[in-house]
Amino acid sequence: MNGQFNLFAAFWLLGGPALALGAAVWVGAEHGFGLAALTFAAILVAWFLLRELLGIAVDVLYRFFPLRPTCRNGRCQAFDYQWVRFGESTVTWRCGCGTEYRQEGAMFSEVDAEGRVRPYMRKHWGRWRPVSRDESR
């Protein structure tokens, strides 16, 4: 998502080949090279198929339940935001248009150039909804 390589990514990249190699060595010791090669190939294909299916499931989940709302200009989606800073109980984000937003729990607010915070969206049951005038007070 953000181009960082971490321990989780290393597991997904190297875990399947390591599992396949270990299983192939174990099967090969009992049944020979032919079955070991077949075991290695089958586990490797299953591992990468699992990775793709989980990736598709996460993409579908984030499409219907995005982490952040579309920006006020309507151009930037959830993954177009960049982290700016953490506060005590808030996270400040900047969309691709350059507008800053502050997220505090389920509330997503726009921050203007003077630093004033204006409520924008509230997350309700996983979906982002516009803030009504009653909620913004």
Backbone angles phi, psi at 58, to 5 degrees: -65, -40
Look up the pTM and report it. 0.59
For the segment 32-89, what is each residue's pLDDT rounded down to a tens digit? 888 999 999 999 999 889 989 998 998 888 888 888 899 988 899 888 899 988 888 8
Q: Which residue, among 81, 61, 72, has the nearest Cα to 127 in the 3D structure?
A: 61
Could you tell me the sign of the dihedral formed by the alpha carbons of 8, 10, 13, 16, in that order? negative
